[in-house]
Structure 1
Amino acid sequence: MGEQPSPHSPVTYDRCAHVEGPFYHGTKSALGAGAELVPGYGSNFQRSRVSNNIYFTTLVDTAAWGAELATALAGSGDRGHIYVVEPTGPFEDDPNVTNKRFPGNPTQSYRTSHPLRVVAELASWQGHPPEVLKGMLDHLTQLREKGLDVIED
């Protein structure tokens, strides 16, 4: 008999030290090593919303979604950037995907209200095929039209 996957053990501000990097952040912004990403700026995903958190992941593919969606939603033809980052404080599971869109946290997405320090830019990463990106953007548009593009921040 096959083993059942272990249930998700929530990552909380009090219980996050066991999560190992490297950590990645995908964005439209060009940054240098040593820069800090801080909350309090406009969300890449909802106009007129100030984000109280900075989001990051341990998966390059998840960071690629962040970079690609941020640039596409900004109307930029750029590819975006993925940075290796270092959390400067505690963090928790991203409630926008953990157990909301996906059981557990398969995207290994986290958020923090503390700065993330940029260590380096990831020079080579694989983006999603244009038709897959378009499908995700269309889905986000549908959610927005239904008033379901809610971000728990």
Structure 2
Amino acid sequence: MTTPPLVPTGPDADATFYHGTRADLAVGDLLAVGWGSNFQAAPLSWIYFSAALESAIWGCELAAGDGRERIYIVEPTGDWFDDPNLTDQKFPGNPTRSYRSRSPLRIVGEVESWTPHPPEVLQAMKANVARLKADGATIID
């Protein structure tokens, strides 16, 4: 039995999607809800991804853990929506092209190289995330 092609059902339907992390995964694996995120250990009810490589770079650079930074090319397996953590709160109009879904994301490839943020820019962002956590902010919905 062959798998029918996926029918895009969200914004940026014809885009290439990315997920930045430190998790060591393989093509064909599924990223699913119910696990902790790059930013918190509590299981999430959404899986996050972006149609902008820049957003995925931040995702892998800010991810907790000691594993190698990775950016996977992913394919949504169900409906997806604008990520309100960014779209509504920080960047109206969703210029980061950030999305979330309750359906798994299938890994279809990996970005082999990208330009990391300069160390001082990354450190400033990490300090900001740490400050938000210390203030009790909910970073991810």
TM category, shorter = 0.7 to 0.9
Q: Deviations over 1:71-124 (max 9, x none)?
A: xx32x2x54100111000000011110020112101100000101000011111
Deviation >6 Å, runs of 4+: none
* Preserved CA contact (<8 Å) 1:27 1:81: yes
Root-mean-square deviation (Å): 1.5
Partner of 1:38: 32
Partner of 1:50: 43
Structure 2 residues not aligned, in runs of 5+: 1-8
Q: In 2, Cα distance between the equivalents of 1:53 and 1:17?
A: 16
Which amino acid is 1:41 matched to?
Answer: W
1:98 maps onto 2:98 in alignment: no
1:84 maps onto 2:66 in alignment: no
Q: CA deviation at 1:18?
A: 5.3
How many residues align structurally? Answer: 133
Aligned identity (percent) is 47
Q: In 2, Cα distance between the equivalents of 1:145 and 1:69?
A: 16
* Preserved CA contact (<8 Å) 1:54 1:115: yes
Q: CA deviation at 1:17?
A: 5.9
The TM-score normalised by the length of structure 2 is 0.88
Q: CA deviation at 1:30?
A: 1.3
Which amino acid is 1:130 matched to?
Answer: P
Structure 1 residues not aligned, in runs of 5+: 1-14
- Larger gyration radius, structure 1 or structure 2: 1
The TM-score normalised by the length of structure 1 is 0.81
Q: In 2, Cα distance between the equivalents of 1:18 and 1:60?
A: 14
Q: CA deviation at 1:16?
A: 1.6
